[in-house]
Amino acid sequence: MWRRVRGAYFRSMPEGSTVVRDATITEVVVDAAASFTGRHANRAALVDPGRELGHAAFADTVPAAANGLRRHGVRPGDVGAIHVTGVCDLALAVHAVTAAGAVPALLPSGAAPAELAALMNETGARFLLAGEDTAARSLAATEHAYVRQVFAFGDVPGTTPFSRLLEPGATEPGAHPDPLRDPALRLPAPSADMTHADRLADLYRLGGALTLSAGDVLAVCGRDLSAPTWIGMADLCLTQGATMVGVPGPDVADLLETILRHRATAAVVTPAKLRAIAFDQGRIPVPGLRLLVTGAPSAEAVRACHTRHNWTVAPLS
- What is the per-residue pLDDT across 256-275, written as a single tens digit (0 to 9) for each? 999 999 999 999 999 999 99
What is the rounded average pLDDT of the residues 27-43? Answer: 83
Structure confidence by residue, pLDDT tens digits, 199-210: 999 999 999 888
Beta carbons of 17 and 11 less than 8 angstroms apart: yes
Q: How far is CA 180 from the centre of its chain?
A: 21
What is the rounded average pLDDT of the residues 91-111? Answer: 96
Helix, strand or coil for residue 116?
helix
- What's the CA gap between 208 and 159, in Å, rounded? 40
Q: 266-290 burial, b if ≥16 CB within 10 A, otherwise e?
A: bbbbbeebbbbbbeeeeeeebeebb
Could you tell me which residue, 6 or 308, shows the higher pLDDT? 308
Beta carbons of 196 and 184 less than 8 angstroms apart: yes
Could you tell me which residue, 10 or 173, shows the higher pLDDT? 173
At residue 71, what are phi and psi to the nearest 5 degrees?
-65, -30
Residues of the chain with CATH 3.40.50.980: 1-35+192-317, 56-176
Class for the domain spanning 1-35+192-317 = alpha beta
Could you tell me which residue, 305 or 286, shows the higher pLDDT? 305
Q: Which amino acid would we find at residue 108? A: P
Q: Is residue 1 pLDDT above 80, yes or no?
A: no
What is the rounded average pLDDT of the residues 84-96? Answer: 97
Q: Is residue 197 pLDDT above 90, yes or no?
A: yes
Could you tell me which residue, 287 or 247, shows the higher pLDDT? 247
Q: Which amino acid would we find at residue 305? A: C
pLDDT of residue 42: 66
- pLDDT bucket at 173, cuts 50 / 70 / 90: confident
- What's the CA gap between 93 and 202, in Å, rounded? 19
Share of the chain above pLDDT 90, in %: 72
- pLDDT bucket at 32, cuts 50 / 70 / 90: very high
Query: Which run of H or E residues covers position 300?
Result: helix 299-304
pTM for the structure as a whole: 0.91
Domain 56-176: give its CATH architecture.
3-Layer(aba) Sandwich (3.40)
Of the candidate ranges 12-21, 82-91, 122-131, the one whose mean pLDDT is the lowest = 12-21
pLDDT of residue 41: 64
